[in-house]
Amino acid sequence: MMKIYRYTKLKLMLLLTSVVAITSCETDFDNPNAATDDQVFSSREGILAATIGMQQLYSTTGLRWIVETPAITAREGGITTTFQNMIELEDGGDIPNSNSNVVGLWSTMLRVVGIAEDIAENASAIDIDPGTQSGLVAYAKLYQAMSIGALAQSYEQVIVATSEDNPPFVSRIEGFNAAINLLNEAKAAISANPISGEFQSEILRGDIDLTNTIDAMLARFNLYAGNYEAAISAASAVDQTSGSVFTYDSQNLNPIWSRVYQNSAPNFKPRDNFGLPDSFTFDVNDGRFDFYLIPLDELNQNQLPIEDLAGFFDGDTESIPVYLPDEMNLIIAEANLRKATPDTGAAIAALNEVLTDTDDIFGVNANVPAYAGDTSVDALLDEVYKNRRAELFLTGSSLEDSRRFGRPQPTPSVQNFDEERNRNFYPYPNTERDNNTSTPADPSI
């Protein structure tokens, strides 16, 4: 099965000579003029091109699936199209294994994992600057970790390596811990050999703060895995005055803009109140409404209230942050509430950093008074959840958050658009099941 992921994406990548642009094509055509795997990973030019290709695949095709798929399931967005894949996502319940979002998210993340494995495995064998080698290894492990983490947020069991046929599945918590191990290895690589100016200029290009991004992902995945002290430590290490962004151009468009604005009939639009039920109320002056949402006072075909979209998604080449600084404060708040001995004081202090924010580097500022409500752990967790949905709108975290915060379970095989989410996990794609005998049974809902 894994040959589909590993060799298809390499051939697509190697057909390009200067900059790599990988699509979601599934067809594997032989090309006698394409470089072999050995050739691309045995030269400086080849491995740098592969690394750029990995980044572009994740930030364009991958980010579309990462954001859009849970957004519909967890009610951040309402569909505005007749495409069957989107209808199936909004209906929920028995989503087919052939649904293109379910297949696209799974297969694209595994393609990134495969490219990352090849880069990390081959970087040390190339005669290049040690700081470029360490940068390549760390960057590959970062993308492998982010891809495994994205799968573990959406599927009950995941694959963490693509190097064998019929690869085994592991639990999603094991997936998060595998991602954490990769991130720690990435951190160790650039600690032993600081990244070179060559790697900075050729790959990071001033867009990615590699050290902070690794720490941010360590904070995120340790929280999801239940490693609360580690999550607090990693989140506290992130410099919130520094940011990392995915950049886009006329050949590689902002993938969420493409889904919402590019065509006369968009695929989805954001829901009112960040998709939360009316029981979650916000200060009327909360700046995140104006940042992300443009009032429409319209309903989609399923009578769901929708808005127009702003934020990072209203321009075709607008950059999208890899993570938002205030996610770190929300991680610190939540982890302090969930650890064995909750620290409500530390949680409130971190939460207030989000609520009173006026100088976020990306302009996501709530700018409302400090928290003055119920200080019980349960009440504070509700407040953290509400603020995660507002602060981290359309970042791919909504389904993971809905489950983790114990929001109401969906009703199997019943269409109910008032439900906060309509599935817990997605079924495994037929492309995996048809080729991998290790594929487990689909979750019931």
Can you tell me the distance from the alpha carbon of 280 to that of 387, in angstroms, rounded to the nearest whole number? 10
Q: Write down the pLDDT at residue 27.
A: 36
Can you tell me the distance from the alpha carbon of 27 to that of 132, in angstroms, rounded to the nearest whole number? 33
Look at the block and give the residue holding tokens 């005055």.
241
Q: Write down the pLDDT at residue 36.
A: 52
Residue-by-residue DSSP string for 75-96: TSEEE-S--HHHHHHHH-SS--
Which amino acid is located at 240 in the chain?
Q
Domains of the chain: 41-403 (1.25.40.390)
Q: Tell me, rounded to whole angstroms, the distance of Cα 30 from its chain centroid.
A: 32
Using DSSP, state whether 112 is helix, strand or coil: helix
Q: Write down the pLDDT at residue 43.
A: 93
Non-local CB neighbours of 281 within 8 Å, separated by 6+ positions = none
Rg (CA), the chain: 21
Can you tell me the distance from the alpha carbon of 37 to that of 31, in angstroms, rounded to the nearest whole number? 13
What sign for the dihedral angle of Cα 273, 279, 285, 287? negative
Can you tell me the distance from the alpha carbon of 329 to that of 240, in angstroms, rounded to the nearest whole number? 10
Phi/psi at 322 (nearest 5 deg)? -70, -35
The pTM assigned to this predicted structure is: 0.93
**Helices and strands (H, E) in the chain, number of each type:** 18, 8
Report which DSSP code applies to 347: H
Using DSSP, state whether 345 is helix, strand or coil: helix
As to burial, measured by CB atoms within 10 angstroms (0-12 exposed, 13-18 middle, 19+ buried), residue 440 is exposed
What's the per-residue H, E or C state across 422-441? CCCCCCCCHHHHCCCCCCCC
CB 260 within 8 A of CB 296: no
Can you tell me the distance from the alpha carbon of 157 to that of 169, in angstroms, rounded to the nearest whole number? 6
Mutual angle of helices 100-122 and 130-154, in 10-degree steps: 160
As to burial, measured by CB atoms within 10 angstroms (0-12 exposed, 13-18 middle, 19+ buried), residue 26 is exposed
Q: Write down the pLDDT at residue 47.
A: 97
Non-local CB neighbours of 419 within 8 Å, separated by 6+ positions = 75, 92, 408, 410, 411
Q: What is the pLDDT along the chain (445 residues), one digit of tens a residue?
A: 444 444 344 444 443 333 333 333 333 334 443 445 666 788 999 999 999 999 999 999 999 999 999 999 999 999 999 999 999 999 999 999 999 999 999 999 999 999 999 999 999 999 999 999 999 999 999 999 999 999 999 999 999 999 888 999 999 999 999 999 999 999 999 999 999 999 999 999 999 999 999 999 999 999 999 999 999 999 999 999 999 999 999 999 999 999 999 877 799 999 999 999 999 999 999 999 999 999 998 999 999 999 999 999 999 999 999 999 999 999 999 999 999 999 999 999 999 999 999 999 999 999 999 999 999 999 999 999 999 999 999 999 999 999 999 999 998 877 889 899 999 999 999 999 999 999 999 999 9
Tally Cβ neighbours within 10 Å of residue 114.
Answer: 25
